[in-house]
Amino acid sequence: MRMARYDDLISEFENPIEHACDLKPGQTWIADGWTRPEGFCLSAWDTLSPFVLALAHGGENFYDGWMKNPKSAMLSCNDGFRPVSFLVEALDEEVSNDNT
């Protein structure tokens, strides 16, 4: 949904790294339960996967009505320098796994 970048924090605290994140706004992934979609950031998956698994098994209404759609969650990866926000939603129908 959205990507942020905090250059002031990066310059003050992060060791220089050549490549941090391959994700781009607008990308969509379809997860099959617990399996991480190909090309999806491992660190972000560690944060999102419990919600993905819960939604895949009928879970909903996280944190007592936090989301307008009870079968969804707005979550962010754990990179404090360049967090990426993801909308995770349960699908009602079967879709093909096209990493678009």
The mean per-residue pLDDT over the stretch 11-36 comes to 87
- Residue 93: pLDDT band (50, 70, 90) is low
Beta bridge partners of 84: 3
End-to-end Cα, the chain, rounded Å: 14
pTM score, whole prediction: 0.81
Has residue 29 got a pLDDT over 80? yes
Joined together, the tokens standing for residue 14 give: 């992060």
Angstrom distance (rounded) from CA 39 to CA 17 = 20
